[in-house]
Amino acid sequence: MNIKERIIVPLDVPDEQAAIALIERLECVTFWKVGLELFTSTGPKILEVLKSRQKRIFLDLKFHDIPNTVAGATRAAARYGVDLLTIHASSGKDALKAATEAAYVGATDAGVKPPKLIAITLLTSISSRQLAFDLKIPLELPEYAQHMALMAQEMGFDGAVCSPQEVSQLRQTSGDDFLLVCPGVRPTWADKGDQARSLTPAQAFKAGANYLVIGRPITADPNPELAWKRIIEELVT
């Protein structure tokens, strides 16, 4: 897998028209993330657009509910034939186990390959202070993220979303086959925005990340094509 296929660009736009415009402007991008805003706006239609252009899809809906509801949502999403699908690890073991079973059933019924299930450990906008004082979780942030990822792995998940700063430790404890997907990655020349726990793309890959989600440094740039090219060049040199 070349470096371009390991970078996922979010379609964080409000509607189908804006999404298609971005896809066409960044034709070189092969892996796109569809999140809550766009999916709520367009439904599965945007997934059909991406698949018609032979793009890979990270459906980042972050399911978080009781086991029966998580299973139903996962079963439905698995029918779309997406590559990656996210579920909050904090939904608990029963929900995670139900999701693994439902993903297989939904994909099999639709005659497509099951998505890789990716656990959300902790949103990258959450700092150590917020974890302790706002969420009242007594664990240190890296320890909490690792616990969530390993719990999901135990329940049959294929990988986890985590801050790049937790990647190195998670790679050591989860092994080589567990996928680690890192948002909040920021090139040295980009504004960190609301990402509290960030590394550069090169640092994140070196730490053991399989995929990087890089959004605003590319999509918010006045020249997104040039920003994409700049990131790729920094990674291959």
Please identify every residue annotated as catalytic: 62
CB 70 within 8 A of CB 95: yes
Distance from C-alpha of 237 to C-alpha of 232, rounded to nearest angstrom: 9
Residue 131 to residues 44, 62, 91, 144, 147, Cα–Cα distance (Å): 34, 19, 17, 9, 14
Amino acid at 207: A
165 contacts: CB under 8 Å, gap ≥ 6 = 142, 197, 198, 199
176 contacts: CB under 8 Å, gap ≥ 6 = none
CB 163 within 8 A of CB 194: no
CB 214 within 8 A of CB 231: yes
